[in-house]
């Protein structure tokens, strides 16, 4: 243990990171900036080739940063065998949901099967992938103990939930506090020491289960509150009340209120998925999370509400949806990023197809997306003449670099699902 601690503190430890996506690549760059040698493993050869050529496919990581370290202290590879040199391994692989809404932990299981081939004494493994309480002990600690290692004595295991907010201009990997919970006090100490080398604030908790629950609480809190405001949006729409004005007025209260905002649905790698991990695990204890199930149902049905509202808006203009040309503006799940994971825009696109609408999309960050077997490309440029072609422009994501005044001036009709046109006075704008 003391040897490993000294190697970490002296920045002699070799860092292994499995999964070079939105979580793993920024983490790898922070360790490189902190003076460590990093081996990054990802099975997608295209990613590895881009990284080796000094390119970045993650919006929050500049290509110049990758180019500065690759081949010097950053070594991307698709081979797990390289991790035999590592003293630490951070696992940051996807944890999606199956269609049945239960956790798909196959990426963790698969990664661990490969990692087991390169394990050695005095190593620390930190799981970062969001998952249910108990995963770290069940899928990692148990496997290591079965290999004959003494947990928390000659092998150390911890969980540290990722807290990546793609596109956030203020908070990134280094200055976002990092929670750590180990399988024993020594595991917590070593993992805490490791991340303290590159993260400004590290917050230890008493166990891996507590650390796993932290992530689920954070995103369940958001999902439930978004579900609440989305339900109020449905109610206010029926009552003829402007929900946006209500929220803005309530937000003037300096205590006891935190504003959440409605939208066409929820997206991203966390909020649509994490609460379902918690709900699934709770059922094993005969506990049913009514808030989670209700919020999931409300949030999941917002894309259909968007379609119903759009049909009503067009009907008032004497137009049928099936005979209208629609522009979806912004396909990413939130502002100023290129991330399409779980984006409600994808579902809205397909719902419109089912209604036989003529649909195109424009997103300054997304040029195309895969829709089943088809690759759908967006329009290349948002010109006044192009805007005027559409019977309705549907704002799904309010990117800062969209010219809303231009859009408002040349559109026949606008349906704003994000309140992105706030401040622009136009009778053509209809709001969610």
Residue 18, strand partner residues: 41, 91
CA distance 213 to 191: 18
The single residue of 32, 236, 270, 392 carrying the catalytic annotation is 270
CA distance 431 to 264: 11
CA distance 261 to 76: 40
Q: Can you list the positions of beta strands (E) in 8-56?
A: 14-18, 37-41
Pairing of strands 392-395, 429-431: unpaired
CA distance 256 to 219: 19
The helix (H) or strand (E) run that includes residue 75 is: strand 74-77
Q: Can you list the positions of beta strands (E) in 99-205?
A: 124-127, 156-159, 178-182, 202-204
Concatenating the DSSP letter of every residue in 221-243 gives HHHHHHHHHHHHHHHHHHHT--H
Residue 431, strand partner residues: 416
Q: Report yes or no: 208 and 181 within 8 Å, Cβ to Cβ.
A: yes
CA distance 172 to 166: 8
Is 392 a known active-site residue?
no
CA distance 382 to 329: 10
Active site residues: 270
């Amino acid at each position: 243990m003391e040897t490993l601690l000294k190697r970490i503190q002296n920045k002699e430890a070799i860092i292994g990171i499995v999964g070079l996506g939105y979580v793993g690549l920024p983490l790898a760059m922070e360790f490189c900036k902190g003076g460590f040698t990093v081996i990054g493993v990802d099975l997608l050869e295209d990613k590895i080739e881009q990284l080796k050529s000094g390119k970045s496919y993650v919006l929050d990581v500049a290509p110049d940063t990758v180019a500065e370290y690759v081949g010097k202290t950053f070594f991307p590879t698709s081979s797990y065998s390289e991790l035999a040199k590592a003293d630490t391994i951070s696992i940051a692989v996807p944890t999606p949901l199956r269609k049945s809404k239960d956790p798909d932990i196959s990426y963790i299981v698969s990664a661990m099967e490969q990692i087991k081939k390169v394990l050695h004494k005095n190593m620390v493994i930190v799981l970062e992938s969001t998952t249910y309480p108990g995963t770290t002990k069940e899928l990692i600690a148990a496997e290591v103990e079965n290999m004959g290692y003494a947990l928390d004595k000659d092998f150390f295991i911890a969980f540290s939930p990722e807290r990546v907010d793609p596109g956030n201009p203020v908070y990134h990997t280094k200055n976002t506090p990092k929670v750590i919970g180990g399988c024993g006090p020594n595991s917590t100490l070593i993992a805490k020491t490791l991340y303290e080398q590159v993260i400004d604030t590290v917050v230890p908790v008493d166990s891996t289960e507590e650390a796993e629950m932290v992530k689920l609480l954070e995103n369940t809190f958001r999902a439930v509150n978004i579900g609440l405001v989305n339900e109020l949006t449905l109610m206010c729409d029926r009552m003829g009340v402007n929900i946006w004005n209500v929220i803005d007025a309530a937000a003037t209260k300096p205590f006891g209120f935190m504003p959440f905002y409605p939208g066409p649905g929820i997206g991203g790698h966390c909020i649509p998925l994490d609460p379902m991990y918690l709900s699934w695990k709770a059922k094993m204890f005969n506990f049913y999370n009514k808030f989670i199930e209700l919020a999931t149902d409300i949030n999941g049905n917002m894309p259909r509400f968007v379609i119903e509202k759009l049909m009503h808006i067009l009907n008032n203009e004497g137009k049928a949806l099936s005979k209208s040309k629609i522009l979806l503006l912004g396909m990413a799940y939130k502002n100023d990023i290129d991330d399409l994971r779980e984006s409600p825009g994808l579902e809205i696109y397909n719902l419109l197809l089912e209604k036989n609408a003529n649909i195109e999309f424009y997103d300054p960050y997304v040029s195309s997306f895969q829709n089943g077997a088809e690759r759908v490309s967006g329009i290349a440029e948002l010109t006044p003449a192009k805007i005027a072609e559409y019977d309705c422009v549907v704002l799904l994501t309010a990117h800062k670099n969209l010219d809303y005044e231009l859009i408002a001036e040349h559109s026949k009709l606008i349906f704003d699902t994000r309140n992105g046109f706030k401040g622009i006075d136009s009778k053509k704008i209809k709001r969610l």
